[in-house]
Chain A
Amino acid sequence: MDFTDIHEIKKHVRVYVTVFVALLALTMITVAIAQLHLSVPAAVAVAIFIATIKGSLVAGYFMHLVSEKKVIYAALILTVVFFAALMWLPIFSQSDTIVYKNVP
């Protein structure tokens, strides 16, 4: 991304505004879906899906991750991997516990 060219920057500003509108719209959508009272797994899936889209928009355009350097991608990929480990391994170990069946 070239940040010295004024036209280029103006183009970017238009992108920012589009993203902003999209974020507001998605917020409304997620609130509206919450009013439908879906079953819990479905509601979680939809809400997390929408939040992920919103988060990607913020990270991708406002934090201009779409055109970032390799070093930053590398650091973030590492973080995401460890984040996944931190989130899923405790959940797995919580769901896989020894149950004493024959205790009177």
Chain B
Amino acid sequence: MEIPYVVTARPETGIFNAKAGIWLFLASEVMLFGALFTTYILLRIGAPTWPHGELDVALATVNTAVLITSSITMVMAWASCLTKDFKKFRLYLGLTILLGATFMVIKYFEYSHHFHIGDIPSKNTFYAIYFTLTGLHGLHVLGGMIVNSYFWGPGSKMWKSEPVRFTNRIEVAGLYWHFVDLVWIFLFPTLYLL
């Protein structure tokens, strides 16, 4: 017996299984990052002084642009699946992965600079929360890149056999990727600008 509603939507809910699953997962992610933002607020309220302007705003702005761009390429990859243009899909998904990698490389330079001049997590609570938040976010980017690479490479075989199901998978991967972008949109001002 096959599991129903893997490909098509259940009429009452209007969604297929994986879409319900990913949104619930993202809901839990909201609570995860929510707890860390709460931590940030409590630490900042409790701190006599809070460092300002010690992070590289220029690099972070570039990184914000990189992630936003990767979000639009992701959504374009999905749209290409809908228009049944597999070549374009691969191009856009490949770009998304590369942009993710770019983000990580820039992040690496930022991190190594901080470590070089002694801004390590144990320096003060600001660097502690900075490294925890961006580190966890970085892991999420990495996770998304792995998933996307799978769909770009071996996972794309499904396009031939079950194109609708494959499109669903790209949609779900996209939802996750946009969420990672969304988290960064809040991280950027909180850590770099305020």
Residues of A within 8 A of B (CB): 3-4, 6, 9, 12-13, 16-17, 19-20, 23-24, 27-28, 30-31, 34, 40, 43-44, 47-48, 50-51, 54-55, 58-59, 62-63, 69-72, 75-76, 78-80, 82-83, 86-87, 90-91, 94-95
Contacts and interface: CB of A to CB of B under 8 A. Distances in A.
Contacts of B15: 69, 71-72
Dominant secondary structure of chain B at its interface with chain A:
helix
Dominant secondary structure of chain A at its interface with chain B:
helix
A72 B23 CA distance: 7
Given A16-B76, A86-B31, A87-B41, A55 B178 contact: no
B122 interface: no
Interface of B: 13-15, 19-20, 23-24, 27, 30-31, 34-35, 37-38, 41-42, 45-46, 57, 61, 64-65, 68-69, 71-72, 74-76, 79, 82-83, 174-175, 178-179, 181-182, 185-186, 188-190, 193-194
Contacts of B83: 6, 9
A86 B24 CA distance: 18
A60 to B, nearest CB: 10
A58 B181 contact: yes
A79 B27 contact: yes
A20 B182 CA distance: 13
B31 A13 contact: no
B82 A76 contact: no
B17 to A, nearest CB: 12
Given A13-B79, A75-B23, A86-B35, A44 B68 contact: no
A55 B181 CA distance: 9
Contacts of A94: 42, 45-46
Contacts of A34: 57, 189, 193-194
B179 A63 contact: yes
Contact of B185 (A9, A55, A71): A55
Contacts of A24: 65, 68
A91 B41 contact: yes
Task: Specify which of B13, B182, B188 lies most central, judged by the most chain A CB atoms within 10 Å of its CB.
Answer: B182
Task: Specify which of B20, B31, B38 lies most central, judged by the most chain A CB atoms within 10 Å of its CB.
Answer: B38
Given A47-B189, A51-B185, A90-B38, A62 B178 contact: yes
